[in-house]
Structure 1
Amino acid sequence: MIWTRDSAAASERCASPARRLLVIFNPAAGRRRRRRLAAVLDGLERQGSEVALRETASAGDAERVARECGPDIGAVVVAGGDGTINEAINGLMAREPSSSPALGIIPIGTTNVLSRDLGIPQQAEALAQLLARGETRNIYVGRANGRHFSLMCGVGMDAHIVSRTSLRLKKRIGKLAYVVQGLRELVANVPRRYRVEIDRSEVVEASSVIVTKSRLYGGEFQLAPQAAIGRPELQVCLFLRGGRFSTLVYVIGMVAGHLDRMPGYRTVTARAIRIDGPDGDPTQLDGDPGGGLPLEIGLGEHPLTVIAP
């Protein structure tokens, strides 16, 4: 499906030419999300952008489209959530940097953490103007066992929550599905310990570990305030204590914005991390299941260009 500029839009165009955009969209999204996408597409037409829309049919489609799109595409724009964005990032990172289009985002997913961290506008007209003619900047993504992530990867409590949350329930109640599964994990209170090797110099044991590029967690809370997606480094968030009481303390501290003051919690800046634990224990990557342990984590091979303020 193609939207092209008409004569009226062309007469109003700015001095800089509008980008040619390839928009990747999951057709399973609900009506409200479709209306939001339609509003942004209308704004792009008024900006003078030529837009091609590609609908995904199954997992992996967004990665393939981003990897294989032609050199005439100025930006690959993901209309979706962090999971679909993760797919597209892996497709773009597989390309040569000189031939890779920029990444744009139309946030219509469940949490949209990356778009919040980047300061992507919510208003449709402002977003269309940004995507068509806005500035770009580089970010540094992480890499875990060969797969790239823009937000975080982890093991322990949050990885078990992600791996066990019902997709059907997630579609029905959104982010609350993670809260439901989190309560189940808290009641079960299964003890876990992981060995974390940081930059080949320090070894720590922890009950949960989150390696993050983003300062935000779940779209609402600050996990690592010092994290910066524009810097070539990772923040290792170590939850040193296990058990129900310590887990509740961590949750209260995060909700209150004072996690860094909670006993048994620390963060470390690093570039290379290895996490060992029970073989096959689940991991999470950008909020989706990411395979099993052990986990080798580092930075992506090169920066990723994004359209962002």
Structure 2
Amino acid sequence: MAAPPSTAVRNVSPALMSLPARRRALMLVNPNARRGTESLDPIVNRLEAGGIDVAIERFSSPGEVAADIVRRRHEADLAIVCGGDGTINAAANGVVAAGLPMGILPMGTANDLARTLEIPTQLELAADIIIAGNQRKVDLGDVNGHPFFNVATIGLGADLAMGLTAETKRRWGRLGYAIGALKVLMQARPFSATIINREGTSQVKTYQIAAGNGRHYGGGSVIEQDASIEDGRLDLYSLEIDNVWKLALMLSAFRSGTHGAWEEVRTARCVEFDIRTKKPRPVNLDGDIVTQTPAHFRIRPGAITVFAPPAS
């Protein structure tokens, strides 16, 4: 006679047997982000109800983020980064080195990566995307060994980044960007640069050189109307106008990504290029100054896995 089935197996509900294993998340919180002081208790409860056990770690310096992810990689199945674009940028190398997928809770001012990936700024809905578990491999830009998700700029964007303080962004939000931009424009001067890519060498006089990896930057401007964070390319433009105030006429084009239609805007799509200037100039990566010219730009296709809705 055959032995009866095990009682342990016989008494388990089929519904429970089909439940996925619980996941462990390392949640890294930037308390200096614009929404960094908000209570995360409802979000943690929502994640845990969705099968994700959460360990929270707060940090005082973005430089700590990547190291913490690598140090604690064996304790987690995913990393959740709570902050703005600068915080997410700081986490990039750690997530790549640890081999963990990354969830995003957008708590910054501009939240351009979340916008590119169509992750809502409402934290409960952003948490639901992590719970749902859909993953996408996205590209990373790289300048002199430093990663960026959205855009790297030399000129106006870098000047703006140096002038914006965390307090200004926390107090004024996007209005702080507008106030800062007006100050930068009033003092702006063009600079000479050399752009070197596979098409050759160009000597330019420009107010800004930008290279986009994602689609959105600067609180919603579009780097190029067909740009994608999954296309394995960088979208470059050089702003070669004769008067910086002409930007007022070009504003709608920059918001829609059609600025390349203006003859004063040089554009290119590259996987690798170099920018050289007579004197070292700061390079802004996703809101933070982390390197300077000479600058070597390259794309790292599919370098990082993120939790996000399926691509439109």
* TM-score normalised over the length of structure 1: 0.86
Query: In the TM superposition, what are the counterparts of 1:69-108 in structure 2 within 5 Å?
Result: 69-93=72-96, 95=97, 100-108=99-107
Offset at residue 142 of structure 1 (A): 0.8
Query: Which has the greater radius of gyration?
Result: 2
Residues 204-232 of structure 1 deviation map (CA, whole Å, 9 limit, x = unaligned): 52411100111212232222122111121
Query: In the TM superposition, what are the counterparts of 1:36-115 in structure 2 within 5 Å?
Result: 37-93=40-96, 95=97, 100-115=99-114
Q: 1:246 to 1:33 in 2, by over 3 A?
A: same
Asked whether the 8 Å contact 1:148–1:300 carries over to 2, the reply is: no
Match of 2:135 in 1: 136
**Partner Cα distance (2:284, 2:18) in 1:** 43
Query: In the TM superposition, what are the counterparts of 1:232-251 in structure 2 within 5 Å?
Result: 232-251=232-251
Match of 2:30 in 1: 26
Q: Secondary structure at the match of 1:111?
A: coil
Match of 2:154 in 1: 155
Match of 1:308 in 2: 308
Q: Secondary structure at the match of 2:184?
A: helix
Q: Does 1:289 align with 2:289?
A: yes
**Partner Cα distance (2:201, 2:84) in 1:** 35
Q: 1:261 to 1:176 in 2, by over 3 A?
A: same
Offset at residue 128 of structure 1 (A): 2.5
Residues 173-211 of structure 1 deviation map (CA, whole Å, 9 limit, x = unaligned): 123222222212222232222211123634252411100
Asked whether the 8 Å contact 1:67–1:91 carries over to 2, the reply is: yes
**Partner Cα distance (1:129, 1:14) in 2:** 20
Asked whether the 8 Å contact 1:282–1:289 carries over to 2, the reply is: yes
One-letter amino acid of the structure 1 residue matched with residue 264 of structure 2: G
Q: 1:33 to 1:112 in 2, by over 3 A?
A: farther
**Partner Cα distance (2:132, 2:200) in 1:** 45
Q: Secondary structure at the match of 2:230?
A: coil
Q: Does 1:189 align with 2:188?
A: yes
Offset at residue 249 of structure 1 (A): 3.1
Asked whether the 8 Å contact 1:121–1:127 carries over to 2, the reply is: yes
Offset at residue 41 of structure 1 (A): 1.3
Asked whether the 8 Å contact 1:153–1:211 carries over to 2, the reply is: yes
Q: 1:298 to 1:114 in 2, by over 3 A?
A: same
CA RMSD of aligned residues (A): 2.4
Query: In the TM superposition, what are the counterparts of 1:246-257 in structure 2 within 5 Å?
Result: 246-255=246-255
Residues 57-87 of structure 1 deviation map (CA, whole Å, 9 limit, x = unaligned): 2231112112222234111110110111001
More deviation in 134-143 or 61-70? Answer: 61-70
One-letter amino acid of the structure 1 residue matched with residue 21 of structure 2: P
Query: In the TM superposition, what are the counterparts of 1:214-293 in structure 2 within 5 Å?
Result: 214-255=214-255, 258-293=258-293
Asked whether the 8 Å contact 2:28–2:57 carries over to 1, the reply is: yes
One-letter amino acid of the structure 2 residue matched with residue 247 of structure 1: L
Offset at residue 135 of structure 1 (A): 1.2
Asked whether the 8 Å contact 2:144–2:295 carries over to 1, the reply is: yes
* TM-score normalised over the length of structure 2: 0.85
Unaligned runs of at least 5 residues, structure 2: 1-14
